Chains A and B, each alone.
Chain A
Amino acid sequence: MRISIENFTKSFGDTTVIEDMSLEIGDGEMLALLGPSGCGKSTTLFAICGIHRMNAGRLMFGDADVTEVSSQKRNVGVVFQNYALYPHMNVYENIAFPLKVRKESKAEVDRKVQEIAGLVHIGELLQRRPMQLSGGQQQRVALARALIRKPDILLLDEPLANLDAKLRLEMRSEIRRIQLATGITAVLVTHDQVEAMSMCDRIALMDKGQIVQLSTPKDMYESPSSDFVAGFLGNPPIAFLDGTVADGGFRLANSQVTLPVPSGIEVPGEGAPMRFGVRPEFFQPGNPLKVPGKVSFVETQGREELYDVTLENGAVLRSIQSQNAGFKLGQEVSWGIEQDRVLAFGPDGNRL
């Protein structure tokens, strides 16, 4: 079911957390709400499921206006960040709860619970209490409970935050599998960019209650709309070089080094401040546009190695290279930037 949020504003007392936000989520789409802590992701999610009333704006599910509909009647499944399982009920009762309050028949409930338990692979845990489950198992129970009454919309609030790295990887594909299998419209709240990029069709990147960019993961990675977006996506993160426009090129701050500006962008006036963003994969020894510096940090990540190179003016560039490149800490190097992949940002931080 399509969700459209129109001019949504939310404030708690005097502090306005979200102002005039609009967002459209397509039918069957999985959208990530990505952003730093406190930017209003959960608030948006809670507005969609009706836990929070909207101070202004309109919320549509399909063609129906649900702004004033109570959360009980919206038919939205929610997986909470801490799962919010009911500790006094066993797994079966937890999953069956949404059906129980709708007074469905015992046989019907049983059939549906078995079916959904199979889907999330917890068939043999039904008699346990939530306390006796691992984090990943609890997470699946929460998912099953959210899905059991075939909601129109599935909302997930940082569902993987409490899991260890391996389980997180497993559950990422698991959730996506279930979402695709059920064809449900889903919103995933996360502050983990990898999660957002790997699981979702589109990402809405939020900052301070605003959506700063809404696009597919690939688009967002390759052409971020601002330095904030560029800095948020990518691991290891992008490196920024500050400088000014000089002779139609980019003069690094406190330095005589001038780099050519990537083709096809509009250079601001002479002397205007400008920022270059260079992703680690585009700063490599083999590239032609050399910048000299000194290796100031080495981190081995198994298959790859991550280097920090401090330039003469103190700016730092990052490089990620396959293992056994063998550079040492403190070594003088002169590696090159891939000129066409450089991201240039204007004085206001927006992409040029």
Chain B
Amino acid sequence: MRRAHLLGLGFLSPALAIILMLFLIPVLLTVMFSFTNMSTATGISGGAYEINAASLRKLADAGAQESFVETLGKESFVVDDAGITAAAAAYGEQFANEVGSQMLGERFSSRRDLERAFRKLKSRPRSTRDIKKAADLFKRSVLNIRFETAGGLVDAVTDNGIEMTPDQQELLTKTIYTGWTWTSDNFALMAQIPYVWRVAGNTVLYVVLTLAASVGMGLFLAITTFYLPSSAASSFRAIWFLPRILPNVIFVLMWKWLAWDTGFLSSLLANFGVPPRNWMLDTGVNAWVFIVLINGIVGASLGMILFGSAIKSIPQSMLHASEVDGASRWQQIRYIILPQLRWPIMFICAYSTLSLLTSFEYILLSTDGGPGGATEVWSLMAFHTALDNYAGNLQYGLGAAMALMLVIVGILASLVYLRIFNFNDLVAKPRIEQ
């Protein structure tokens, strides 16, 4: 490598580091997460093995034999050294020794059996209450005990005298593990979600409608401000630019206020006898109208600026020429201005498709996917699944898998756009001749 190349690389390195940190690492993490079953239940650090009511239910669901599940759930009584030591401390050496010499290693499936055995001993405690208590000292159970490793759990279970076939052992350790594991089930799971196709459809609808609205409005604004006197045009542009610099939350709050059942629309229409209602969440169609308007108006300002400057870069003389050639205003727009806006329009479409696919903040703030999922789009679904879930179990893994689909669609779309635009060509030749 030549020294100049090294130098160039050196200058580039901050940018490379930023690309790595802000783009590649999140994508890699998304890929990684999407192949796990991480959720609130599993946590994102390692898990443990614990047999409890819930994990037994899971085990039964996973197809373990009923008798096996039952044995695991039962407590048993084992005469072992630990129990004998405890008994010695509580009820004296004599009793302990007697138990040790006569019953060591014996196993009882219920307390009553153990009590009955105790009663046969000479040095047993006198009261029935004490015998019950003494029996409790020998209670052994794997229930509600956390084991850090699978081996610990297996040992404990066998110590309790529960025999397991290797298959049962594997099933047990796999199903009751509380931490996350690697899996590729997320994609199959995603396909099984009943509303997933509706969400995909919503996403397409959202992108197409918002794009049409923002490009249409942007074009309209750019052209009208072009024909306006310059001072009026710049204040007009400033007004339309406000939504973009306004904090999103405030912008959406204003829309909500407009649509609330005690808000502007309802109050206004009350004068005409229309009953008040929440216009935004009233019906799915209404929600869509608001979503498209909110996003479209924000998007329009970008189009307005881009198209506006593109129109300004059309040489004056070309517009003059079209006038003396006899073109009316409309014909001038139709035949001279619009054709020369082809590239900016395509650029906005490409750019906005990509950003709309992944942006959901205005939907989240306004309808939150409602009413009844009518405006739920893919990115919002990923967000809801992974980070904001009414059921409370946040499924990070599944959410990441959903996000990964967006990344893939985005990359494919970018490749197509690069093909269409043929950026090298675009850079090489000016599209507007001077």
Of A51, A87, A100, which one neighbours B320 at CB under 8 angstroms? A51
Interfacial chain B residues near A50, Cβ < 8 Å: 323-324
Within 8 Å CB of B328, what residues of A? 72, 101
- Give complex CA distance A85, B323 in Å: 13
Indicate if A209 sits at the interface (CB-CB under 8 A): no
CA of A78 to CA of B315 in the docked complex: distance in angstroms?
16
Residues of A within 8 A of B434 (CB): 82
**In chain B between 312 and 344, which residues have their CB closer than 8 angstroms to a CB of chain A?**
315, 317-318, 320-328, 331, 335-336, 339-340, 342
Q: Do A97 and B317 contact each other (CB < 8 Å), given the known contacts A51-B324, A85-B433, A87-B432?
A: no
Residue-by-residue, is A302-324 near B (CB-CB < 8 Å gives 1, otherwise 0)? 00000000000000000000000
Q: B401-434 CB contact bits vs A (8 Å, 1 = yes)?
A: 0000000000000000000000000000101111
When distances are taken between beta carbons in the complex, the residues of chain A under 8 Å from B432 are 87
What is the CA–CA distance of A81 and B434 in the complex, to the nearest angstrom? 11
Contact A80 B321, CB 8 Å, known A101-B328, A102-B326? yes
CA distance A101 to B321 in the complex (A): 13
A74 to B327, CA, bound (A): 12
Interface centre among B322, B324, B429 (most CB of A within 10 A): B324
B163 CB to closest chain A CB (Å) equals: 84
Q: Is A98 an interface residue (CB 8 A)?
A: yes
> Which of A73, A76, A88, A89 has the largest count of B CB atoms less than 10 A from its CB?
A88
B334's closest neighbor in chain A, by CB?
A: A101
Q: What are 23 A-to-B residue pairs whose CB atoms are below 8 Å?
A: A49-B324, A50-B324, A72-B324, A72-B326, A72-B327, A76-B324, A80-B317, A80-B320, A82-B315, A82-B317, A84-B317, A84-B318, A84-B320, A86-B318, A86-B336, A87-B432, A88-B339, A98-B325, A101-B325, A130-B433, A131-B429, A145-B321, A149-B326
Q: Identify the interface centre among A49, A84, A97, A100: most chain B CB within 10 Å of its CB.
A: A84
Query: Which 4 pairs between the two chains have the least Cβ-Cβ distance?
Result: A84-B317, A84-B321, A87-B433, A98-B325
Known: A46-B320, A84-B317, A88-B342. 12 other contacts (CB 8 A): A50-B323, A72-B323, A74-B324, A78-B320, A80-B320, A85-B433, A86-B318, A87-B431, A97-B322, A98-B325, A101-B326, A130-B433
| In the complex, chain A residues whose CB is within 8 Å of the CB of B339 | 88-89
B199 to chain A, nearest CB (A): 40
- Once the chains bind, are A101 and B324 in contact (CB under 8 Å)? no
In the assembled complex, how far is the CB of residue B335 from the closest CB belonging to chain A, in whole angstroms?
Answer: 7
Task: State A24–B377 Cα separation when bound (angstroms).
Answer: 71
Q: Mark A75-115, 1 if CB is under 8 A from B, else 0.
A: 11110111011111100000001101110000000000000
A82 to B320, CA, bound (A): 12
Chain B: CB-nearest residue to A85: B433
Q: Are A145 and B325 in contact (CB under 8 A)?
A: yes
Cα of A145 to Cα of B318 in the assembled complex, Å: 13
A192 to chain B, nearest CB (A): 20
- Asked if A71 is an interface residue, CB under 8 A from chain B, the answer is yes
Residues of chain A with a CB closer than 8 A to B325's CB? 97-98, 101, 145
B331/A101 in contact, CB under 8 A: yes
CB contacts under 8 Å to B, within A56-84, are 71-78, 80-82, 84
State A77–B315 Cα separation when bound (angstroms).
Answer: 18
Chain A residues with CB under 8 A of B336: 86
Shortest CB distance B256–A (Å) = 44
A85 to B327, CA, bound (A): 14
Is the CB–CB distance between B327 and A78 below 8 Å? no
| Contact partners of B326 in chain A: CB under 8 A | 72-73, 75, 98, 101-102, 149
Please measure, in the bound complex, the distance between the C-alpha atom of A288 and the C-alpha atom of B339, giving whole angstroms: 70
Chain B: minimal CB distance from A157 (Å): 9
- State the CA gap A112–B433 with chains docked (Å): 26
Closest Cβ of chain B to A340, distance in Å, is: 48
Chain A residue with Cβ nearest B331: A101
CB distance from B324 to the nearest CB of A (A): 5
Separation in Å of the B430 CB from the closest CB of chain A?
9
> How far apart are A144's CB and chain B's nearest CB, in angstroms?
12
Q: Closest approach, in angstroms, between the C-beta of B229 and any C-beta of chain A? A: 13
Residue on B nearest A52 in the bound complex, by CB: B320
User: Contacts of A74 on B, CB cut-off 8 Å?
Assistant: 324
Cα separation A82 to B336 with both chains bound (whole Å):
17
How far in angstroms is the closest Cβ of chain B from A60? Answer: 18
CA distance A224 to B227 in the complex (A): 46
Whether A84 contacts B315 by the Cβ 8 Å rule is yes
A130 CB to nearest B CB, Å: 6
Question: Do the beta carbons of A101 and B317 come within 8 Å of each other?
Answer: no
Q: Which residue of A lies closest to B321 (CB)?
A: A84
Q: Which residues of B contact A130 (CB under 8 A)?
A: 433
Report Cα–Cα, A71/B327, bound state, in Å.
9
Complexed CA–CA distance, A87 and B340 (Å): 8
Residues of chain A with a CB closer than 8 A to B324's CB: 49-51, 71-72, 74, 76-78
B342 / chain A contacts, CB cutoff of 8 Å: 88
From B315, B323, B331, B335, give the contact of A71 (CB < 8 A). Answer: B323
| Most chain B beta-carbon neighbours within 10 Å: one of A71, A78, A87, A145 | A87
- Between B325, B328, B335, B431, the greatest number of chain A beta carbons within 10 A of the residue's beta carbon is seen for B325
B273 to chain A, nearest CB (A): 49
Q: How far is the CB of B167 from chain A (nearest CB, A)?
A: 73
C-beta contact mask, B28-63 vs A, less than 8 Å → 1, else 0?
000000000000000000000000000000000000
Give min CB distance, A23 to chain B, whole Å.
20
Residues 219-256 of B, flagged 1 when their CB comes within 8 A of A and 0 if not, give 00000000000000000000000000000000000000
- Residues of A near B429 (CB, < 8 A) are 131
In Å, the complex CA distance between A80 and B331 comes to 20
Residue on B with the closest CB to A103?
A: B331
